[in-house]
Amino acid sequence: MEPIVYVALGAALAAGIAGAASSFGVGIAGAAAAGAVAEDEKNFRNALVLQGLPMTQSIYGLITLFLIALVSGILGGGFKFAETTTENIIKAAILLGAGLTVGLTGLSAIPQGIIASAGIGAVSKNPKTFTQAIIFAAMAETMAIFGLVGALILIITGVGF
Amino acid sequence: MRKVEVSTITAILDTSLAVIFTWVAYKTGQILWKYTPYSYPNARIRAMEARLFTEQKFNELAESKTLNNFIMNLEDSDYKPYLTSLPVLNSESIDRALDRALADTYELFYRILPKRSREFFKLLLEEWDVRNITSSVKAKLRGEVARDYISEIGTMVEKVKAIADAKSLEEILVILEGTEYEEPYQKLLLKEITPEEFETELYKNHYLKLSKYAATRKDEEKKILQEFVKLKIDKINLSTILRGKAHGLGADKLRDSLIPGGKVKRKTLEALANMEDVEMVLAELDSTEYSGIIREHREEILEDISAFEKAFDRYILQRMAELTRFYPLSIAVPLNYILQKESEIRKLKAVTKLIEDGAKPEIIKRVVGELP
Amino acid sequence: MFKPEEMVKIEVLSLNRYKDSILTYLHEQGVLEIREIDVDVAQKDAPNEFYRKAASYTISLSRLIEFLKLYKKQEQGGIKGFIFPELKPKRKYKYRGIENLIKEIESFLENAEPEIKNIESKISSLNTEIERLKTEIETLELLSALDIEIEYLKPTKSVEIVVGFVEKDKFLPLIEELKKALDNRIAYVSRDLKGKVFVVVALLNRDYDKANPILAKYSFERIEVPEVRGKPKEAIAELQEEIARLNKELEAAEKEAKSLAEKYHDELVFYQELMENERDKANMLSNLVRTNMTFALTGWLPKKYVPKIVEGLNKISHGKIYVNIRPPTPEELDEIPVKLKNPKFIEPFEMLTEMFGVPKYNELDPTPILAFTYSFFFGFMLTDFMYGLIIAIVAALLIMGHKKLNDGVYRFSNILLWSALFTMVLGVLFGSYFGDAFQRAGINVPAMLDPMREALIVLGLALAIGLLHLFIGYTLGFIVKVKNKETVSAVLEQLPWMLIILGVVFLALSMAGFTSTLLGEVFLVPGVALFVISEFKSDLPVLMRLLMTISDFFGFIGNWLSYARLMALALATAGIAMVINIIVAMIWGIKIGPVPLGIVIGLVVFVGGHIFSTAINALGAFVHALRLHYVEFFGTFYSGDGKRFEPFKAKREVSELELEI
């Protein structure tokens, strides 16, 4: 296949999978938030903060999308790897790999949403557990962060600006 | 040469992509299917749990002195809509209102829980039918007013009321026509079985239904529901044996009343039924999972078997609470809530009755404290 | 700083007649944590009749308050009410013993309670009546489908009328069976309504018992026919008039309730607070012991309050008191309550430490370090001057509004303000003002580092900071343990990692050509050796020990790499800000005719986008900075197993006690 396909796929999958996962995560937590608020409106603020946590993965995806677009020249100038040479294919593959890393580690938004959902439940029973619930949900994000760091190293050392 | 290399790279890329994506999609779908449906109910029920009455609240209620104050004390609670328009103010009408509240809780759970497990709450509601039918039939046979024995909750409240009001035993058969209770009742009318056997038969059928439903679920749901049903079956079996022994019944009489499907094995149950007296049964039970209950409440149980039932109810509550901690997004949460709610309503009913009888607050507090 | 407040044990023995005033004095001072006395010679104290009354009055007072609160004028709500909450005035009360207080409350309730209860029951009975009428109207609306006089639906001497619903598919069988059972002696009318069939059945009185079970069999739902006259439509109109009249009455009653709320609410709250404090004292009594004449109590007290408390106690009991003060013994180590002690500007951060758990009495209080590193990490992850400025302004406003309350919001805002200051400083260093907004607008700002383009340098920086943070943690743990004479554990648990970290640092420096490789190896080799020894000292099976060694080693690596989030979140902030700026730049130039529409929309997107970005990134920075401390940093040395100091303290929000000394 042409290199452009891989580069575009990498960018799309980074933002796409991470974004989809984030929306699932936020959705699951959102259902819990709706349940908590249906019983007591005072739960709104706590539930809102917890519901927002799985959103970060989509941000990482978006950043990766922009980075891939920048280094491959899609943003600002022309596409750099248009020719089907081995070197270009390799570079395109690296970008695909970086995008996939962020996209797949971005799937951590789903379990994070599940943790946040259980957290919203716990917090609406006992508001004092709020901080603990946040920390628990934040644990799941570590993988996405590792993914982003890995992808950055791949992009900058493997392809470069 | 160059051409080949490129195609090899792309081929490897494409295959790994396909494999990764299939796996990821499968796993993601599985996780989503498992947890998403419980997200809303779990949070909602947790928030409801925050509003369950504390000991402090019960102490306040115990201080009410009159039923009017009692109702006023419940103004800011979930029971308000049920209690505002009572025709008369006595413990009976309040009981009915509380039953309605409980029935609505079942109804709510049926509405918000996922399709794959909500049927269980309908089945649980049927236990009230069984309870109502057996107690009103038994009351009729004794020639008492059956209305006093029924709670207005279940899947067929209207029929139950009609049964309680029925003038003759044949009328009840007409009412039960077409339901699953028709056959055992017919046998009872033909004197093929005794009223006690009729009761056992109904409970047996009910618990078999619960067991069957639990067994056809999957994963966590199966585990939790089976644990729950098994505990319930064990409770009823063990209390049958204990009560039987307290009245000096023989093993052959007890054997027929035992319901299969509990945690305690059939063999152990038979052995228990063959014991001589309550003390021996308790000693034998020490080797089962329930040794904790037995050890803690041995003296009280020897005095009064209902202490065993209370202790067992507490144990079930405790077990389900444990399960909600293990499986926060599962059917354990609504089950645990229903148990707590039933306990709360049991206590409220006791408080109403005692207030009506003019009992002192200290006594009310003590009685409520003893209830499971 | 670093050490918790010094505590002493206090033992008090005095005459029973001073008990009430001594307890009240201590309650008002709120600096003593009372503990249970375990003595055989004396009996445990118990609340007397007045305390029991206090407990029961708290309940009746809270009932009255709950009702009146519904009718109280709404206090200032919204954002202004949140930032600048109103301070409630404190009313003074001259305390002359619990008996007088109870009497005063009784005489107050004598008037107020019936007045309030009266209006309460009036409102509730009106509401009940309105509800009843509404249900009747609902029934009548059903009946209006038939349009017959309501009287005809009432049973007479010989005819019974049954009104209700039955499911559609059961309707015909029901009628069939009824006809059969009653030899056709029935008459009925029916209408399809709401997916069911609405039926009125008339039958002979004597047939009723036969019909009843059949009706039940088909799950016939009966409805009560209301006691009204005429056609349903006329009756509805009448009932609606009645409801309107009742509503007017309700309004009048509610107005009355409002004036009662005006009159009594604040006073009730005042008395409730007094009563709650009495109840608090009553609950404490079981920790005391007494004889016929004397009583004794014991507890923990911060040393700095000793002179003041001893003097106060002497004054109150006219010198008829025995007070013993002594430092804690080593056996009591686990008993001593811990109160953190820090300078004013670090104090708010104690909240973060306490959320995890306070240290033991002989351990170190990490708050001063946490205060600095937490704010720094927050700043590093947000790194934007403007975002920092926004947060700083909000935090400063909250601090101003909540200063007097000294509540959770105040402390939290203080933390936020410090964090925002760090954010601004780091924002300047990274040259980030709303991301790259200035650069895009063509204004050049000085910057040391670009988090997007030089991400790898930022990553290195983050990992170096992480290594330093972990090293500080291990070193602190080492020092505390050596001081507490747990040298073995210090050498085995903390020292190996300190050596390994030093080794890694020197190796890295040698690669850059600063030091020789040897120096790194000097630290690294004994460090690894010590680590392996400590792992193999456990009593697990050998294979498990091997696995644990590997897992602990990678646990350390994981903890370290976790600091990469510093860079990831910094990058996330810069990234989102950049995306917003790119979008704004794209729509900036759009014009429709002469109207510069792009500028208007662009401004909206710019402001809205950056506010959103501030919120979401600040949330991320807050959460992850906290996590780095709780999980990674505290994991190196901190247990948080201490007992928190919980003084016996009166709650005074609307009242103030004047005690006669």
Cβ contact, residue pair C131, B76, below 8 Å:
no
Highest average pLDDT, of B169-178, C190-199, C287-296, comes from: C287-296
Instruction: Please name every residue paired with C658 in a beta bridge, in sequence order, or none if there are none.
Output: C94
Percent of chain C residues topping a pLDDT of 90: 24
Residues 6+ apart with CB under 8 A from C216: B158, B159, B161, B162, B163, B175
> Taking phi first (over 0 means left), then psi (-120 to 50 degrees means alpha), and beta for anything else, what does residue C547 get?
alpha
Instruction: Please name every residue paired with C33 in a beta bridge, in sequence order, or none if there are none.
Output: C300
**Contacts of residue C631 in chain A, CB cutoff 8 Å?**
135, 139
Residue with token string 């001893």? C310
The rounded distance, in Å, linking the Cα atoms of B315 and B313 is 5
The rounded distance, in Å, linking the Cα atoms of C272 and C578 is 56
Cβ contact, residue pair A60, C576, below 8 Å:
no
- Kindly state the average pLDDT of the residues A63-77: 84
Cβ contact, residue pair C219, B159, below 8 Å:
yes
The rounded distance, in Å, linking the Cα atoms of C225 and C155 is 10
Establish if B36 touches chain A: CB-CB under 8 angstroms.
yes
In tens, the pLDDT along C339-355 reads 999 998 899 999 999 88
Cβ contact, residue pair B50, A124, below 8 Å:
yes
Residue C212 confidence class, pLDDT cut points 50, 70, 90: confident
**Contacts of residue B163 in chain C, CB cutoff 8 Å?**
216
Interface of A with C in 129-158 (CB under 8 A): 131, 134-135, 138-139, 141-142, 145-146, 148-149, 152-153, 156-157
Residue B81 has pLDDT above 90, yes or no: no
Considering only CA atoms, which of A124, A136, A129 is closest in space to residue A47? A124
Report the pLDDT value the prediction gives residue C661, as an integer from 0 to 100: 59
Residue by residue, what is the 3-state secondary structure of chain A? CCHHHHHHHHHHHHHHHHHHHHHHHHHHHHHHHHHHHHHCHHHHHHHHHHHHHHHHHHHHHHHHHHHHHHHCCCCCCCCCCCCCCHHHHHHHHHHHHHHHHHHHHHHHHHHHHHHHHHHHHHHHHCHHHHHHHHHHHHHCCHHHHHHHHHHHHHHHHHHCC
Residue A1 has pLDDT above 70, yes or no: no
Report the pLDDT value the prediction gives residue C77, as an integer from 0 to 100: 64
In tens, the pLDDT along C508-556 reads 888 887 777 888 888 888 888 888 888 887 777 888 888 888 888 888 8
Establish if A33 touches chain C: CB-CB under 8 angstroms.
no
Measured from the Cβ of residue B153, the count of other Cβ atoms closer than 10 Å reads 24
Cβ contact, residue pair B42, A35, below 8 Å:
yes
> Taking phi first (over 0 means left), then psi (-120 to 50 degrees means alpha), and beta for anything else, what does residue C586 get?
alpha
Quick one: closest CA in A to B41, which residue? A35
Tokens of C266: 């604040």
The answer to whether the beta carbons of residues C489 and C481 sit under 8 Å apart is: yes
- Kindly state the average pLDDT of the residues C194-212: 83
Give the number of residues written for chain B: 372
Report the pLDDT value the prediction gives residue C84, as an integer from 0 to 100: 80
Interface partners of chain C (CB pairs < 8 Å, 3 or more) are A, B
The rounded distance, in Å, linking the Cα atoms of C280 and C649 is 9
- Between A108-122, B251-265, C360-374, the lowest mean confidence (pLDDT) is in B251-265
Which among C128, C135, C214 has CB closest to B174?
C214
Residue A120 has pLDDT above 90, yes or no: yes
Which among A49, A56, A135 has CB closest to C626?
A135
In tens, the pLDDT along C79-134 reads 777 778 777 788 888 888 888 888 888 888 888 888 888 888 888 888 888 888 88
The answer to whether the beta carbons of residues C430 and C455 sit under 8 Å apart is: no
Question: H or E segment at C298?
Answer: strand C294-302
Residue B74 confidence class, pLDDT cut points 50, 70, 90: confident
Residue with token string 């947000």? C382
Cβ contact, residue pair A34, B51, below 8 Å:
no
In tens, the pLDDT along C9-59 reads 999 999 988 888 888 899 988 899 998 887 777 777 777 778 777 877 887
- Kindly state the average pLDDT of the residues B32-57: 90
The rounded distance, in Å, linking the Cα atoms of B165 and C222 is 15
CA torsion C479-C482-C486-C490 (nearest 10°) is 50
- Report the b/e string of C557-580 with b at 16+ CB within 10 A: eebbbbbbbbbbbbbbbbbbbbbb
Tokens of C656: 């103030």
Tokens of A15: 């933002």
Residue C76 has pLDDT above 70, yes or no: no
Report the pLDDT value the prediction gives residue B328, as an integer from 0 to 100: 87
Q: Order of strands, edge to edge, in the sheet holding C221-222?
A: C186-193, C196-204, C159-167, C221-222
Measured from the Cβ of residue B181, the count of other Cβ atoms closer than 10 Å reads 26
Q: How far is B56 from chain C (nearest CA, A)?
A: 10
The answer to whether the beta carbons of residues C610 and C577 sit under 8 Å apart is: yes
- Between A130-139, B5-14, C109-118, C197-206, the lowest mean confidence (pLDDT) is in B5-14
Residues 6+ apart with CB under 8 A from B17: A100
**Contacts of residue B165 in chain C, CB cutoff 8 Å?**
212
Beta strand pairing call for C655-659 and C91-95: parallel
Considering only CA atoms, which of B50, B72, B52 is closest in space to residue B61? B72
Establish if B23 touches chain A: CB-CB under 8 angstroms.
no
State the first-to-last Cα distance of chain A, in angstroms, to the nearest integer: 24
Residue C581 burial by Cβ neighbours in a 10 Å radius (0-12, 13-18, 19+): buried
Q: How far is A108 from chain B (nearest CA, A)?
A: 10
The answer to whether the beta carbons of residues B139 and B168 sit under 8 Å apart is: no
Interface of C with B in 126-185 (CB under 8 A): 127-128, 131-132, 135
Residues 6+ apart with CB under 8 A from B121: B106, B109, B110, B113, B334, B338
DSSP state of C234: H
- Kindly state the average pLDDT of the residues C264-278: 88
The answer to whether the beta carbons of residues C296 and C23 sit under 8 Å apart is: no
Cβ contact, residue pair A107, B112, below 8 Å:
no
The rounded distance, in Å, linking the Cα atoms of C99 and C338 is 36
The rounded distance, in Å, linking the Cα atoms of B188 and C317 is 80
The rounded distance, in Å, linking the Cα atoms of A19 and A25 is 10
Cα separations in angstroms, C626 against A114, B96, C205, C466: 21, 51, 78, 14
ipTM summary value: 0.84
Instruction: Please name every residue paired with C160 in a beta bridge, in sequence order, or none if there are none.
Output: C203
Residue A29 confidence class, pLDDT cut points 50, 70, 90: very high
**Contacts of residue C571 in chain A, CB cutoff 8 Å?**
63, 148, 152
Report the pLDDT value the prediction gives residue B1, as an integer from 0 to 100: 44
CA B142 to chain centre: 27
Cβ contact, residue pair B35, A28, below 8 Å:
yes
Cβ contact, residue pair B10, A1, below 8 Å:
yes
Question: H or E segment at B220?
Answer: helix B219-246
**Contacts of residue A139 in chain C, CB cutoff 8 Å?**
627, 631
Residue with token string 């609406």? A124
The rounded distance, in Å, linking the Cα atoms of A96 and A65 is 11
Quick one: closest CA in C to A157, which residue? C456
Cβ contact, residue pair B6, A86, below 8 Å:
yes
The answer to whether the beta carbons of residues B62 and B359 sit under 8 Å apart is: no
Beta strand pairing call for C221-222 and C159-167: antiparallel
Q: How far is C62 from chain A (nearest CA, A)?
A: 21
Residue of C627, C631, C644 to mutate for A, most A C-beta atoms under 10 A:
C627
Cβ contact, residue pair B84, C56, below 8 Å:
no
The rounded distance, in Å, linking the Cα atoms of A132 and A125 is 14
**pLDDT mean across residues, chain C:** 86
Residue type, B138: K
Residue by residue, what is the 3-state secondary structure of C182-206? CCCCEEEEEEEECCEEEEEEEEEHH
Q: Between C449 and C610, name the one with better pLDDT.
A: C610
Residue B3 confidence class, pLDDT cut points 50, 70, 90: low
Cα separations in angstroms, C618 against A49, B7, B119, C570, C623: 11, 47, 45, 11, 8
Residues 6+ apart with CB under 8 A from B303: none
The rounded distance, in Å, linking the Cα atoms of C8 and C309 is 12
